[in-house]
Structure 1
Amino acid sequence: MGGAGGRRWIRPGAPGSRATRLELFYDLVFVFAFLNVTTLAAKHLNALTLLSGLVMMGLLWWCWTSFTFLGNLVRADFGIVPVVGFATMIGVFLLALTVPQAFADAPGGLFGPAVFAFSYLLVRMLQVTAFWPIAGRVAATNPPPLLLLCLPVLVSVTLIMTAAFVPQRLTHGTGVELIRIALWSAALTVEYVAGALIAVTRWTLVSAGHLAERHGLILLIALGESVLALGLGPGIGPSLPITWPVVVAAVLGITVIATLWWTHFDVLAPAVEQALHGTRDASRSRLVRDVYTYLHLPLVIGILLFSLGLKRLLLNISSPNVPAGRDTLGPADIYVLYGGVALYLVASIAVTLRTFRRIRPPKVAAAVLVIVLAPAANQVPALAALALLTVITLTLVALELHTGRAVRLRVHASEDGEQEALEAEASRWRQRHL
């Protein structure tokens, strides 16, 4: 595969490669997956559905990040790799499609938990069997044995299969869902612990820019889900008139979403990518594992929890049966709305700490405020609770602009210089060849 014949089937990635159109197309499945998870939780928000949704997100994330790393080693739009991508896309779509019946099967049709289990088996075995020979011959200096890669997948799939067929033989009702969640959580733990223990230093990171761009795009998809939640939340439809509470909620919600975007993409995302470019040897692979593979998951989950809270808030304020001023949110609604923002900020703090060995006091203060004020927000009208969250995030942006001006200018100068150099080189190539 590494010779001339192999290059007909794969094309190794290059240090300056970026995300391909095929990878962006692949990510469209996760738009549906995110929407399905939050919609299910919004309809029946309780501890059980929230926990099952979090476990589901963990498994979906592992499917996504595995294909992302494969696309870093080789061109995802060349040779045999698109076939692997399309097959993976089918499996992930089936995973997302079975979200409502993955834990509690609906009567009629196929058995939902089994469809989910076999779909997960398809996705993970496709990824491992494609990843090992490609990585071993293209970019890995000392890849682990195939058995070592397959073992955690086989264990996790066995646990998910067991969750599909065994619990209903042991108990009934809620007990079945609890056993399934426990087995799924065990499968998730196996995958993530194995990912941390298998020596990542054996793999070569081909393009830091590609990996940074892919993870930035998945965060944008999660933020897009928040926008969809704001426009298509429960209770919002053609039969519902646009009222002032709905308009105010839209303005406040978009403002919070914009501040969440700003806190990551204005400085932190390009700064982390620049730090990754400047990191060498084994520490580079460890940084990728910690910051992108693991710490970007709570960033995504935080956004989706906030999205879920927005859906619940819109359901509350748009109900004609709730008088104005009495539309307080329930404890569960407040904790997903505020908890999502808090988790996002804490994960952002962790990314900064892991990459640069320092923290930003304004972001820490904002995270603490969101956590501390959540109980108080439960006592005020829904729009007031959202307005309070908006004030906190806007204040964070203002403080970051004021206290981090020098860092911001330096990061943007490096980013602009790199972009200008790339555009100049691309322009010279076009003049010579087109």
Structure 2
Amino acid sequence: MAATRQRNWLRVKGSPGGSRVSFLELFFDLVFVFSISQLSHALAAHYTPLGALEAGLMTFAVWWVWIFTAWVTNWLDPEKMPVRGMLVVLMLLGLVLSASIPEAFGDKGLLFAGAYVLMQVGRSLFAVFAMKGVSASNYRNFIRISVWLGVAGVFWIAGGLLEHEARLVAWLIALAIEYAGPASGFFVPGLGKSTTADWDVSGAHIAERSALFVIICLGEAILVAGRTFSELPFSPLTAVVFLTGFVATVGMWWLYFRFGHERAAHRIEHDETPGSIARQAFTYAHIPILAGIIVHAVSVEFMFSHPHEVGDLGIVASVLGGVGLFLAGNLWFKGATSGRPPLSHIGGLVLLILLAFVAPFTEIYVMGMLSTAVLLIVAAWEYRSLSGQAVAHTLH
């Protein structure tokens, strides 16, 4: 009887709803709208090398807790009440995690670490319980994952109890442990390691979930531009900066969704080992994509507040770095899912490097326009290239 009850918690692969993203999963994502907003504001408020490192660490953590949840709901059905309960609890903890971000390296370090560990370890143990007697391979897989997350959790909690520099070191160790897990197959002495064949994911589901997170980040970039524009007196310059930020965000949307996501979803859904593609293309390659959008949102704030600034290498790094990270992530993502990294993206990165040589002598808002132009060039190049390939394939 117990096995039957647990089996009802799993998605039915191949059924009409087996890969559908549920409304509860979309509701769950609302917490991460807040997370992304907090991260971009934290980076803008503490825009120093140390502040960037701290914001980067928290971005890695937020993405990791989200993508692990996306993997779990790939197997567990959010329409089942126990799974719903688990997601609602994770939402509450995620809200605490997000609210702690601005002071994570201050007074709320233990709160941030505690919420994070409860989310990671609690969700993984729930999956162990749900898989017991139902899927032997996934049961062992989640036991291994729980061990890795538990070991990392010791460093997260220890970091929350330590002072600033020691906290940063402890949390970097914790994050390194967690990120090494999938690459090592979550090897545990006596339990062996997982293989990509064990990760029988629904490609359509994991692709759609990742795309929705990209939408969250793009939405934050739109909100930053709109909110800042509304708070400033209208002028031709603010209008130009607003339009520049908007066009850049649309360019990012186009580059990711027009060809990248569409081909990736098709490839992973029809691949014999979807877990291998999901690990590289969605679990890892999306990190620079998301980081690039967040840095871009910060650069838009700087373009509004320091439009005529010249020679500030930190602000220049945000303007060029946001676009650069985004292109590098898409290069990795598309290369992993198509087998051939797009030449257009490599060309775009070369253009950004060339812009870096003139950046110290160029006003920030002009540099923003030039980096946006790079995005548009890459988008047009890729569109022309892939459209030409499609025509050639049709003729043959």
Asked if structure 2 preserves the Cα contact closer than 8 Å seen for 1:140 and 1:204, the reply is no
Is residue 331 of structure 1 aligned with residue 313 of structure 2?
yes
Q: Which residue of 1 aligns with 2:6?
A: 6
**Distance across 2 between alignment mates of 1:274 and 1:340:** 28
Give the match for residue 321 of structure 1: none
Structure 2 equivalent of residue 254 of structure 1? 246
| 8 A Cα contact 2:149 2:178, kept in partner | yes
Whole-Å Cα distance in 2 between the matches of residues 127 and 404 of structure 1? 41
Letter in 2 for 1:344: F
Kindly indicate whether the alpha-carbon contact (under 8 Å) linking 1:73 and 1:138 is maintained by their aligned counterparts in 2. no
Task: Give the distance between the partners of 2:214 and 2:172, measured in 1 at CA.
Answer: 24
Match of 1:311 among 271, 284, 301: 301
| Cα distance in structure 1, aligned partners of 2:60 and 2:124 | 18
Find the aligned partners of 1:144 and 1:89 in 2 and give their Cα distance: 26
Asked whether the equivalents of residues 73 and 139 of structure 1 are also in contact (C-alpha less than 8 Å), the reply is no
Describe the superposition over 1:161-183 as per-residue Cα deviations: whole angstroms up to 9, x where unpaired: 2212233xxxxxxxx3x322221
8 Å contact kept, 2:3–2:133: no
Any idea what the Cα deviations from partners look like across 1:261-289, whole Å, max 9, x if unmatched?
11110011111111112211xx3211111
Q: Any gaps of 5 or more consecutive residues in structure 2?
A: 186-193
Cα offset, 1:136, TM superposition: 4.5
After the TM superposition, which residues 93-108 of structure 1 pair with which residues of structure 2 at under 5 Å, given as runs?
Answer: 93-105=95-107
Check the 8 A contact 1:223/1:261 in 2, yes or no. Answer: yes
Cα offset for 1:200?
4.1
Partner SS, residue 265 of structure 1? helix
In the alignment, which of 34, 40, 43 is matched to residue 42 of structure 2? 40
What is the CA-CA distance between 1:31 and the residue it aligns to?
0.7
- Give 1 or 2 for the bigger CA radius of gyration: 1
Distance in 2, Cα, partners of 1:410 & 1:139: 45
Q: 1:374 aligns with which of 317, 335, 356?
A: 356
Q: Does 2:150 match 1:154? A: yes
Q: Counterparts of 1:85 and 1:124 in 2: how far apart (Å)?
A: 12
Classify 1:2/1:252 alpha carbon distance in 2 versus 1 (closer, same or farther; 3 Å): farther
Cα distance change of structure 1 residues 5 and 157 upon mapping to structure 2, 3 Å threshold:
closer
Q: Contact 2:7–2:134 (CA<8 Å) still a contact in 1? A: no
Indicate the percent of aligned positions where both proteins have the same amino acid: 24
TM norm structure 1: 0.83
Is 1:144 the equivalent of 2:136?
no
**Rounded Cα–Cα distance in structure 2 between residues aligned with 1:30 and 1:140:** 32
TM-superposed deviation, 1:231: 1.6
SS in 2 for 1:328: coil
Tell me which residue corresponds to 2:262: 270
Which of residues 161, 165, 168 in structure 1 aligns to 2:161?
Answer: 165
**CA-to-aligned-CA distance 1:173-209 (integer Å, 9 cap, x gap):** xxx3x32222111110100101221224353434211
Residue in structure 2 matching 1:222, options 214, 217, 220: 217
**Consecutive unaligned residues in structure 1, runs of 5 or more:** 106-111, 168-175, 318-325, 412-434
How much does 1:7 deviate?
A: 5.1
Deviation per CA, 1:402-429, whole angstroms, max 9, x where unpaired?
Answer: 2210456799xxxxxxxxxxxxxxxxxx
| Equivalent position SS for 1:189 | helix
Q: Of 369, 394, 405, which aligns to 2:387?
A: 405
2:105 match: secondary structure: coil
Q: State the distance in 1 between where 2:202 and 2:364 align.
A: 45
For this pair of structures, how many residues does the alignment match? 383
Query: Which stretch of the first structure deviates more once superposed, 369-378 or 241-250?
Result: 369-378
Could you tell me whether the CA contact under 8 Å between 1:139 and 1:204 is conserved in 2?
no
Aligned residue in 2 for 1:301: 291
For residues 373-396 of structure 1, give each alpha carbon's deviation from its aligned partner in whole angstroms, at most 9, with x where no partner exists.
Answer: 124223212221111112211111
Distance 2:60 2:134 in 1: 29
Residues in 2 aligned to 1:313 and 1:119: alpha-carbon distance in whole angstroms: 35
Match of 2:22 in 1: 20
User: Does the CA contact (< 8 Å) of 1:33 and 1:96 recur in 2?
Assistant: yes
- Mark the CA change 1:270 to 1:328 in structure 2 (over 3 Å): closer, same or farther: same
Mapped contact 1:73–1:135 kept (Cα < 8 A): no
Partner of 1:343: 325
The CA distance in 1 between the partners of 2:26 and 2:390, in whole Å, is 29
Q: What SS is found at the alignment partner of 1:269?
A: helix
Is contact 1:76-1:82 (8 Å) kept?
A: yes
TM-score where L is the length of structure 2:
0.90
Deviations 1:82-126 (A, max 9, x none): 111011111111111011111122xxxxxx111112111211122
- Aligned counterpart in structure 1 of residue 121 of structure 2, from 125, 138, 158: 125
One-letter identity of the residue aligned with 1:22: L
CA separation of 1:329/1:200 partners in 2, compared to 1, >3 Å: closer, same or farther?
farther
Q: What displacement does 1:327 show?
A: 3.2
In structure 1, what is the Cα distance between the partners aligned to 2:392 and 2:73?
A: 30
2:167 counterpart residue number: 180
Amino acid corresponding to residue 287 of structure 2 in structure 1 = L
Task: Report the counterpart of residue 82 of structure 1 in structure 2.
Answer: 84
